[in-house]
Amino acid sequence: MDSAGPDWAMVDVNGVVYFVSCSAKTLAALPGLGEACELHTEMLVSQDSIRLVGFATHLEKEWFKLLQSVQGVGARVALAILSVLGPGELASAIALQDKAMIGRANGVGKKLAERIVLELKDKAPAYTAADVGLTQVAADMSAPKSSAVSDAVSALVNLGYGQTQTAQAVSAALRKAGDDQPTEKLIRLALKELATA
């Protein structure tokens, strides 16, 4: 890698230097300046430009393409989302219908976050390995309690716990306490689960 900025890297490939746009997570995964690196790239062609977008993993590249299938999500917004959420976190947020998590990305408002969750909820599982706790919580998010479950998960994630860890704790709390628990009780029970984990 020759040089890097907040959302780009310049990569020398046999004497030809390419300017590659990247997410913050990809840039963080790259080695230092002057060291060899590997990027999975996607070429974006428009009427007035040709540009490369680079990804640390093939899975991140697939998510980039999947995100752009949602109306209103272009390359810039897709990179902003991938700068905030890794592929696993993004899959979890979609499975848990956590619009607030997706809304943390620059350029993603409430309506766009809702559209992303709605349009990708059936496509997302193909882009990630299923997590038992996450699968259980996603199944638990049926009708009346879905708001309490997603609110509890969102609150715990905002406290700094990981998405998958939180999903497993909320799932365990639901199994122990039963259905139809209010958000506050789910949060307290899940915190107890997290403390003993």
The DSSP secondary-structure symbol of 116 reads H
Task: State the Cα–Cα distance between residues 113 and 129, nearest whole angstrom.
Answer: 22
Mean pLDDT estimate for the chain? 84
Q: Would the pLDDT of 194 be above 90?
A: no
Which structural domain range is residue 192 located in? 130-197
pTM of the predicted protein model: 0.68
Instruction: Give tens-digit pLDDT for 147-173.
Output: 777 788 888 888 888 777 787 788 888
145 pLDDT more than 60: no
Domain assignment of residue 94, yes or no? no
Asked if pLDDT for residue 190 goes beyond 70, the answer is yes
| Residue where a domain stops, chosen among 55, 73, 91 | 55
**E-assigned strands of 23-64?**
40-45, 50-55
Domain boundary among 55, 78, 96: 55
Cβ atoms of 77 and 105 closer than 8 Å = yes
Strand pairing category for 40-45 and 50-55:
antiparallel
More confident residue, 179 or 28: 28
pLDDT digits (tens, 9 = 90+) for 6-62: 899 999 999 999 999 999 999 999 988 889 999 999 999 989 999 999 999 999 999
**CATH number for the domain that contains residue 49:** 2.40.50.140
Residue 197 maps to a domain: yes
Q: pLDDT at position 150, please?
A: 77
Whole-angstrom distance, CA of residue 17 vs CA of residue 25: 22
pLDDT above 70 (res 138): no
Q: Is residue 99 part of a domain?
A: no
Q: Of 39, 55, 71, at which residue does a domain stop?
A: 55
Asked, for residue 188, whether it belongs to a domain, the answer is: yes
Work out whether strand 16-22 and strand 40-45 pair parallel, antiparallel, or are unpaired.
unpaired
Q: How many domains does the chain have?
A: 2
User: Which element (helix H / strand E) includes 10?
Assistant: strand 8-13
The confidence band for 3, taking pLDDT boundaries of 50, 70 and 90, is confident
User: What is the model's pLDDT at position 112?
Assistant: 95
In a domain, 108, yes or no: no
Whether the predicted pLDDT of 87 surpasses 80: yes
What the block records as the tokens of 42 is: 């996607």
Q: Report residue 32 CA to chain centroid gap.
A: 25
pLDDT at position 197 = 64
Residue 70 in any domain: the answer is: no
| Per-residue confidence (pLDDT) for residue 94, from 0 to 100 | 86
Q: Is 28 part of a structural domain of the chain?
A: yes
Average pLDDT over residues 170-189: 82
32 assigned to some structural domain: yes
- What does the pLDDT read at residue 128? 57
> What pLDDT does 184 receive?
87
